[in-house]
Structure 1
Amino acid sequence: MYDLRIVVEEIRGFCDLPMVIGDYCEVKGGRLIIPEGKHMCIWALASILPMLPAKQRNIVEENDWLPSTSRMCCPDPNGLVIYRIERVNESSETNKTNESSKTNESSEDKPFPRILVNEKVCSGCRTCEMTCSFKHTEGFSVDESRVRIDKDEANGLDIPRICRQCGTARCLEACPIGALSRDPQTKAIVLDKDQCTGCLACQKACAFKAVQVHPLSKQPMFCDLCGGNPQCVERCATGALTFGRAGEAPIKGGARAAIK
């Protein structure tokens, strides 16, 4: 387990507490320590605390967003204090500099890029469906698209249903014959059509309702990320679909949303 340091990195709004940039507290095992002369907001700590036990552990699961997430914001919309969570080495030496503590989080800890969904800005234009269908079949058919748009009338939302490439993929675990695997380069879920029996256990296991069924073969269809260049993201006009890692600037997508 790691010891942690929670540092006040930036104060964007107004905070009436005597905190200054650079103030910090430390987590050593199960102890929370605020050094003499330093200040921390108890309300901000209350929002950060649930994340700390997980940050203390060395997570090696593929596509887990937690290792690459190190900044959190105070819940007060007027304060907007940004806190940085640093891992200190496992021997509890807390005199490491910021740079040396960052080396504990290697690039290998980062989750692999995937398609991220923001249904709040989806317009329901269904361009993604047509783009996906044409990319894979050279035709335009919603039934052959790996992405589908569900309309939530009660909440006024259009919700893109597309494979989230989960780190712990329930579809992989549910397949009784091992017909699902990951592409070694993109990490996208891959279906072995010769092995697949069409039992659809994968579809039932998916919490995001993202596994679609081909109208003719009756086999499940999975997003293949277009080999790492997802065309649905390229064509999304509102930025509802982006490609990248959660909590980071998108690798693709998002820019078209700024077009008036």
Structure 2
Amino acid sequence: MSEKHNDQFYLYDLQVETIRGEKDFVCAHEEGVNFQVVGENLVFPQETRFSLYALAAILPLIPARQRETAGTDWMTTDTDIACPDPNCGARFRITRIAKRSFRHSECTVVPLPRNTKD
């Protein structure tokens, strides 16, 4: 098998949507506002505003949500992230919406070790 064929991996495309939690919004969030994560790109609908502070809280979780996880892993089941303001009731739901194939050789110039099987 050539390196071109065995260097494939998958990532999920994600949607991040603002939802209402148990408390009122304190920050300038709007229910239903969303963006998508497609590969390495954040894709915002035109004229969408999303809090920088909320985005900073969500960003560390995105690469983990993009990858396959065990059914028993909390990253598989816990989809709602709280607004970083403890007084705000906004939540941000991260949903897997599609699975996309990538090739290592198209994402980096670092070669794979010769004995890689995954």
Q: How does the TM-score come out when normalised to structure 2?
A: 0.67
Query: What 5-or-longer segments of structure 1 have no aligned partner?
Result: 93-260
Query: What 5-or-longer segments of structure 2 have no aligned partner?
Result: 1-10, 102-118
Q: Structure 1 residue 31 and structure 2 residue 41: aligned?
A: yes
Cross-structure match for 1:47: 57
Query: What letter is aligned with 1:15?
Result: V
Cross-structure match for 2:91: 82
Aligned length: 90
1:133-148 matches, within 5 Å, as none
Q: Deviations over 1:151-185 (max 9, x none)?
A: xxxxxxxxxxxxxxxxxxxxxxxxxxxxxxxxxxx
Give the C-alpha shift of residue 67 in structure 1. 0.4
Q: Structure 1 residue 70 and structure 2 residue 79: aligned?
A: yes
1:14 to 13, 25, 31: 25
Question: What RMSD over aligned residues (CA atoms) do the two structures have, in Å?
Answer: 2.0
Higher strand content, 1 or 2 = 2
Give the C-alpha shift of residue 35 in structure 1. 1.2
CA distance in 2, matches of 1:39, 1:78: 20
Give the C-alpha shift of residue 63 in structure 1. 3.1
Task: Provide the secondary structure at the position in 1 that maps to 2:99.
Answer: coil
Identity %: 33
Q: Deviations over 1:41-71 (max 9, x none)?
A: 11011111111101001113x6321101100
CA distance in 2, matches of 1:14, 1:8: 11
CA distance in 2, matches of 1:48, 1:72: 7
Q: Structure 1 residue 58 and structure 2 residue 68: aligned?
A: yes
Give the C-alpha shift of residue 39 in structure 1. 2.1
Higher relative contact order, structure no. (Cα contacts within 8 Å, ≥ 6 residues apart): 2
Q: Deviations over 1:212-248 (max 9, x none)?
A: xxxxxxxxxxxxxxxxxxxxxxxxxxxxxxxxxxxxx
Structure 1 runs of 4+ with >4 Å offset: none
CA distance in 1, matches of 2:25, 2:97: 30
Give the C-alpha shift of residue 34 in structure 1. 1.7
Query: What letter is aligned with 2:36?
Result: E
Larger radius of gyration: 1
Q: How does the TM-score come out when normalised to structure 1?
A: 0.32
1:155-234 matches, within 5 Å, as none
Give the C-alpha shift of residue 80 in structure 1. 2.4
